[in-house]
């Protein structure tokens, strides 16, 4: 196919070529026009004969392979076009139709809305894939003055997509994103449906979603033609390798058997990013560097599939600052990880069955803290998820010595002639080390080889000794390790020379040392720019909007759905305590109870900001009263994640940790023009159910007359303090500042003291600098403050109620303030506390707020109801009135069993009268699956062996025990995890 341009008005045409038509593709054109606004396009699917090619200009001489989707960048809409790809091979030749894969080498972006970039194409020499790790990254963060004057705005996206790590299904419409057993279990219609895929692994889902929605609205015959043209490309990232070989034939036949060994690694995109920027798990249970790897062995008789997964330790942890060869690990929410941890494993168990974790983390230094936390969380999770979840903190020496292990999860196998599943894989190994790269790839290679040999021992024992097969298997896994390592860490994997040859050489050691140095440089200095590009491609930036295709029907449904938010959501009351205190460099010397608990009822959330602190922990803050502290959990303890001497703590009741999501922290220095942390701000943002909050503590510039410096500090913080994925302070529904603002009172010292002693606060407030800048909009515009009914909080003689009597005789002022913005916030108390351990008095506020809880099931049901009524609207009928009169049925239930009544019980059904379960069914429910790597009780917590990789590999090869295939059975999945929060999009997309 080719890409053409028409001007006046500007239109892009993707049109099939004569070569495409010779292979049986329909003569069609996919037409793109700009729509209304900067986030809408118009798309048509036309016969090729309806397009006047004589008036079109061909935009590129390259043969177009397909379209990845539409994305908005800098107020322009760009069409992502695959212009270079090569075939990797047929991953399953025994299938009735080819399952071939192509590797993408070049993606170009063409604007629908502007001609400014038509003459500035990105040539292949800029981003060509290379084995030099530094060349693959060096244009993400160009030094000042080196960038082109008119650099294409999509250059970072082009570099990612043209890195050689993306793949798509070639020619026939088959689903590359799903493993073999899933594809074969689908009905015949779903197998041929382009829109049926595993959304965890399709990386361009965000930019192609509008085209898939457009496809769904086409007439069925046109939809078949669109699929046959292969205009739409669904891409995975990871690795695909195919090796075809001749294996010895049985004695009765002289011709060799042709076998194909394929390896497919699918990298998940839901927590995507680079090594030091993306670690651990998010609140929805998605973990960093999650990869599903499938080994496929295909002959004319059988096709065997074996699946493993890898992923970062599913806890909230990160690595901050400059990282070299000693990893500094911080577990950021030690008491808030359990809900996300259990969501992660519940999702794995629902997808794969039993899950067994193999933890390869070390037992020394920082890795030990992760190992211990991993074990503790998994032990708690087992009580909720059952015995289908297990773990080994991997001591290979001990595992080999005790012997008796076998891969009881088995493998999936189908009959090559009928595609009928003979046996299914009953569980999955989840392997991890720190980066889930080198050690993980090494162990997964072993597990894959063991499983393949188990199959061969059942069907063709002589193939177990085939040097060709073992060599090709090692080579594929070595290339897989290199590919995944380049994506996440920027260099090839370590120890691949040993994986390939089975030997450790001096050249391999030197190569590993070079890669380690390259990784340190790339990950510390170049990955931030790539992380931003990844987030842009996935639609994670807070200021992004998905490109929609003009569709008045769905647009009206979306608008109506937004107006009817209360119908599919509820609100919940919450109480928040907000406190700020400048400690003047001294630890608290008296009980904090009068400040933290001014009333009998305990708040749901504590937010505490400190300035000029000494090292404090959340436990020290609340340990004065064990009864009140036992139900609190440190959500984000950051005495070390602070700006100079400023710290922020957020604590919640332990019962709320499951509904607090997406917690992030950020800092911004303002001292010495941003070079020093003696002044600045710390921010923590989070989502409480479906409502976003941002809390900020700050210490602004000092000095009575330095008003403009304080205003400048505020502007620096607002513009410079950013959270992940482009979120800013303004991105949140509710924002609260709890700070030492340092704004003073513009009156002389004697007057201020007289008014303060007389409690004539109105006279002082009229001269308050902060009130003045807020009224004029110079700083803190749009924020509110409660009525100030207390005396100035600064500056006191230590341990007394006397304002400053030192030589400097500082003028009293309300430096310590709490400001807020948000419709859900209702201020009920704003006061100060009489603690005398500092020259400031602590200030506090209590908010009675509301958080919104969206019901995704009700939302999806209402969306369907609205859509059905829009489609059934008759000519002349008033659509707005019709939609306004619609309501969900009174008997609508969200999920689960129907409610019991006085006459009937939900468990009393015709199938099971009285709720009695037959004994055979009960026995079936109680059956447990065995776990093949159970550690003995006396086995110490350890991890990857301290011996050489050669010893590790040699001993591990003894872990092989044949298994007997069993007939595949339908496994009822466990209950799904709690519904996740929605992204803004089409009403029926995110249910």
Burial class (CB in 10 A: 0-12, 13-18, 19+), 98: middle
Helix H, strand E, coil C: the string for 327-361 is: CCCEECCCCCCHHHHHHHHHHHHHHHCEEEEEECC
Q: Are 804 and 810 in contact (CB under 8 A)?
A: yes
> What confidence score (pLDDT) does residue 159 get?
92
Task: Find where tokens 């001294």 sit.
Answer: 586
**Tokens representing residue 90 in the block:** 């047929």
Distance of CA 699 to the CA centre of its chain: 32
Q: What percent of the chain has pLDDT over 70?
A: 75
> What confidence score (pLDDT) does residue 752 get?
97
In Å, what is the CA distance from 454 to each residue of 99, 294, 325, 396? Answer: 25, 16, 39, 20
pLDDT beyond 70 at 484:
yes
Find the largest Cα–Cα distance for the chain: 111
Task: Name the band, by pLDDT with cuts 50, 70 and 90, for residue 191.
Answer: low
Mean pLDDT of 230-252: 90
> What confidence score (pLDDT) does residue 38 get?
84
> CA 21, CA 292: separation in Å to the nearest integer?
36
Higher pLDDT, 408 or 291: 291
> What confidence score (pLDDT) does residue 946 get?
37
> CA 572, CA 589: separation in Å to the nearest integer?
37
> CA 135, CA 141: separation in Å to the nearest integer?
12
How many distinct helices (H) and strands (E) make up the chain? 27, 32
Q: Report the length, in residues, of the chain.
A: 991
Mean pLDDT of 941-970: 42
Angle at 288 between CA 190 and CA 290, to 5 degrees: 40
- Exposure string for 738-752, b = 16+ CB within 10 A, e = fewer: bbbbbbbbbbeeeeb
pLDDT beyond 70 at 521:
no
pLDDT beyond 90 at 66:
yes
Among the ranges given (253-267, 360-374, 568-582), the one the predictor scored with the smallest mean pLDDT? 360-374
Higher pLDDT, 106 or 515: 106
Task: Find where tokens 């969380």 sit.
Answer: 377
pLDDT tens-digit series, residues 104-157:
999 999 999 998 888 665 554 444 444 443 334 344 544 434 444 568 999 999
- Strand bridging mode 548-549 / 569-582: unpaired
The string of DSSP letters for 103-155 reads EEEEEEEEESS-STTTT----HHHH---S-TTTTTTTSSPPTT-S-TT--TTH
Higher pLDDT, 935 or 856: 856
User: Strand order in 40-47's β-sheet?
Assistant: 57-58, 2-6, 11-15, 28-34, 40-47, 548-549
**Which three-class secondary structure state does DSSP give residue 884?**
helix
pLDDT tens-digit series, residues 199-217:
999 999 999 999 999 999 8
Indicate the angle between helix axes 707-720 and 769-776, nearest 10 degrees. 60
Among the ranges given (170-179, 222-231, 239-248, 903-912), the one the predictor scored with the smallest mean pLDDT? 903-912
**Tokens representing residue 128 in the block:** 């060509």
Task: Name the band, by pLDDT with cuts 50, 70 and 90, for residue 907.
Answer: low
Among the ranges given (181-195, 405-419, 554-568, 911-925), the one the predictor scored with the smallest mean pLDDT? 911-925
The string of DSSP letters for 747-813 reads S-HHHHHHHHHTT-HHHHHTTBHHHHHHHHTSSSTT-B-----S---B-B-TTSSPBP-STT-PPPB
Short-list 10, 182, 4, 192, CA closest to 96: 192
Mean pLDDT of 918-923: 56
pLDDT beyond 50 at 943:
no
pLDDT tens-digit series, residues 260-306:
999 999 999 999 988 778 889 998 999 999 999 999 999 999 999 99
> What confidence score (pLDDT) does residue 723 get?
85
> CA 102, CA 63: separation in Å to the nearest integer?
14
Measured in degrees and rounded to the nearest 5, phi and psi for residue 704 equal -60, -40
The region that residue 839 occupies, defined by phi over 0 for left and psi between -120 and 50 for alpha, beta otherwise, is alpha
> What confidence score (pLDDT) does residue 252 get?
58
Dihedral angle computed from the Cα positions of residues 625, 626, 630 and 636, in that order, rounded to the nearest 10 degrees: 60
Neighbouring residues of 110: CB distance < 8 A, sequence distance ≥ 6: 3, 5, 12, 59, 78, 79, 81, 117, 118
On average, the pLDDT of the chain sits at 81
**Tokens representing residue 665 in the block:** 């922290």
Short-list 242, 226, 215, CA closest to 25: 226
> CA 671, CA 612: separation in Å to the nearest integer?
13
pLDDT beyond 90 at 225:
yes
> What confidence score (pLDDT) does residue 902 get?
54
Neighbouring residues of 750: CB distance < 8 A, sequence distance ≥ 6: none
**Which three-class secondary structure state does DSSP give residue 496?**
helix
> CA 183, CA 190: separation in Å to the nearest integer?
9
The region that residue 672 occupies, defined by phi over 0 for left and psi between -120 and 50 for alpha, beta otherwise, is left
> What confidence score (pLDDT) does residue 117 get?
86
pLDDT tens-digit series, residues 431-449:
999 889 888 998 999 999 9
Higher pLDDT, 567 or 556: 567
**Which three-class secondary structure state does DSSP give residue 683?**
strand
- Strand bridging mode 569-582 / 605-611: parallel
Task: Name the band, by pLDDT with cuts 50, 70 and 90, for residue 935.
Answer: very low
């Amino acid at each position: 196919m080719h890409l053409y341009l028409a001007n006046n008005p500007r239109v892009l045409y993707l049109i099939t070529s004569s070569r495409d038509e010779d292979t049986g593709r329909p003569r069609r054109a996919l037409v793109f026009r700009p729509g209304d606004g900067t986030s809408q396009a118009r798309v048509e699917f036309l016969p090729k004969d309806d397009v006047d090619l004589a008036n079109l200009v061909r935009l590129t001489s390259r043969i177009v392979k397909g379209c990845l989707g539409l994305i908005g960048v800098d107020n322009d809409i760009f069409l992502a076009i695959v212009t270079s790809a090569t075939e990797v091979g047929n991953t399953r030749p025994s299938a009735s139709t080819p399952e071939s894969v192509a590797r993408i080498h070049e993606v170009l972006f063409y604007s629908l809305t502007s001609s400014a970039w038509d003459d500035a194409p990105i040539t292949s020499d800029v981003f060509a894939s290379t084995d030099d790790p530094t060349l693959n990254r060096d244009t993400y963060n160009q030094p000042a003055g080196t960038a082109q004057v008119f650099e294409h705005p999509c250059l970072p996206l082009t570099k990612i997509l043209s890195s050689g790590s993306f793949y798509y299904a070639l020619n026939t419409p088959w689903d590359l994103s799903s493993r073999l057993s899933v594809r074969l279990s689908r009905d015949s219609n779903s197998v041929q449906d382009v829109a049926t895929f595993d959304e965890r692994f399709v990386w361009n889902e965000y930019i192609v979603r509008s085209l898939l929605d457009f496809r769904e609205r086409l007439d069925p015959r046109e939809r078949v033609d669109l699929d046959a043209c292969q205009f739409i490309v669904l891409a995975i990232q990871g690795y695909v390798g195919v090796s075809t070989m001749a294996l010895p034939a049985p004695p009765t036949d002289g011709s060799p058997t042709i076998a194909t060994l394929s390896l497919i690694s699918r990298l998940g995109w839901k927590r995507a990013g680079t090594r030091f920027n993306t670690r651990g798990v998010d609140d929805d249970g998605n973990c960093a560097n999650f990869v599903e790897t499938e080994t496929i062995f295909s002959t004319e008789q059988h096709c065997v599939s074996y699946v493993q997964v890898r992923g970062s330790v599913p806890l909230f942890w990160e690595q901050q600052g400059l990282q070299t060869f000693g990893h500094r690990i911080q577990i950021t929410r030690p008491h808030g990880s359990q809900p996300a941890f259990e969501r992660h494993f519940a999702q794995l168990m629902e997808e794969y069955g039993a899950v067994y974790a193999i933890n390869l983390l070390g037992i020394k230094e920082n890795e030990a803290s992760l190992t211990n936390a991993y074990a503790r969380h998994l032990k708690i999770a087992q009580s909720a998820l059952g015995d289908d979840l297990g773990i080994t903190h991997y001591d290979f020496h001990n595992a080999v010595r005790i012997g008796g292990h076998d891969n009881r999860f088995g493998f999936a196998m189908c009959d090559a002639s009928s595609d009928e599943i003979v046996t299914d894989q009953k569980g999955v190994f989840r392997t991890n080390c720190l980066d889930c790269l080198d050690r993980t790839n090494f162990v997964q290679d072993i597990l894959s080889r063991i499983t393949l040999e188990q199959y061969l021992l059942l069907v063709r024992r002589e193939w177990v000794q085939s040097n060709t097969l073992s060599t090709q298997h090692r080579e594929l896994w070595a290339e897989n390790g290199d590919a995944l390592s380049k994506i996440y860490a920027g260099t090839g994997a370590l120890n691949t020379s040993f994986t390939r040859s089975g030997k450790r050489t001096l050249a391999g050691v030197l190569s590993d040392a070079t890669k380690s140095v390259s990784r340190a440089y790339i990950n510390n200095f170049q990955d931030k720019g790539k992380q931003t590009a990844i987030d842009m491609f996935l639609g994670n930036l807070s200021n992004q909007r998905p490109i929609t295709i003009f569709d008045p029907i769905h647009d009206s449904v979306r608008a109506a759905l937004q107006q009817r938010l209360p119908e599919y959501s509820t609100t919940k009351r919450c109480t928040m305590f907000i406190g700020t205190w400048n400690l003047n460099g001294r630890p608290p010397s008296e009980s904090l109870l009068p400040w933290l608990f001014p009333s009998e009822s305990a708040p749901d959330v504590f937010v505490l900001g400190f300035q000029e602190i000494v090292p404090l922990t959340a436990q020290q803050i609340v340990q004065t009263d064990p009864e009140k502290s036992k139900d609190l959990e440190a959500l984000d303890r950051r005495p070390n994640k602070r700006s100079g001497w400023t710290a922020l703590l957020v604590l919640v009741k332990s019962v709320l940790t499951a509904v607090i999501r997406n917690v992030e922290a950020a800092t911004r220095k303002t001292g010495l023009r941003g070079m020093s942390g003696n002044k600045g701000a710390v921010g923590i943002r989070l989502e409480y159910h479906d409502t976003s909050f941002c809390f900020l503590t700050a210490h602004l510039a000092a000095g009575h007359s330095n008003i403009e410096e304080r205003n400048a500090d505020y502007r620096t913080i607002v513009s410079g303090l950013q959270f992940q994925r482009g979120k800013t302070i303004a991105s949140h529904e509710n924002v609260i500042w709890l700070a030492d603002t340092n704004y003073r009172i513009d009156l002389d010292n004697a007057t201020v003291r007289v008014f303060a002693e007389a409690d004539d606060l109105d006279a002082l407030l009229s001269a308050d600098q902060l009130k003045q800048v807020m009224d004029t909009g110079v700083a803190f515009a749009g924020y509110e403050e409660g009525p100030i009914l207390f005396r100035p909080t600064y500056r006191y003689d230590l341990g007394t109620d006397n304002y400053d009597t030192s030589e400097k005789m500082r003028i009293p002022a309300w430096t310590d303030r709490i400001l807020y913005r948000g419709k859900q916030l209702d201020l009920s108390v704003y006061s100060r506390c009489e603690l005398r351990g500092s020259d400031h008095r602590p200030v506090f506020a209590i908010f009675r707020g509301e958080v919104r809880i969206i019901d995704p099931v009700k939302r999806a049901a209402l969306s369907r109801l609205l859509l059905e009524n829009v489609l059934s609207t008759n000519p002349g009928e008033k659509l707005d009135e019709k939609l306004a009169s619609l309501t969900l049925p009174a008997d609508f239930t969200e999920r689960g069993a129907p409610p019991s009544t006085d006459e009937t019980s939900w468990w009393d059904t015709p199938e099971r009268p009285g709720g009695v379960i037959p004994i055979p069914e009960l026995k079936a429910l109680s059956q447990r699956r065995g776990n093949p790597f159970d550690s003995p009780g006396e086995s110490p917590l350890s991890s990857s062996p301290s011996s050489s990789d050669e010893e590790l590999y040699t001993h591990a090869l003894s872990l092989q025990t044949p298994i007997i295939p069993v007939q595949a059975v339908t496994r009822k999945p466990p209950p799904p995890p709690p519904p996740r929060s929605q992204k803004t999009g089409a009403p029926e997309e995110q249910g």
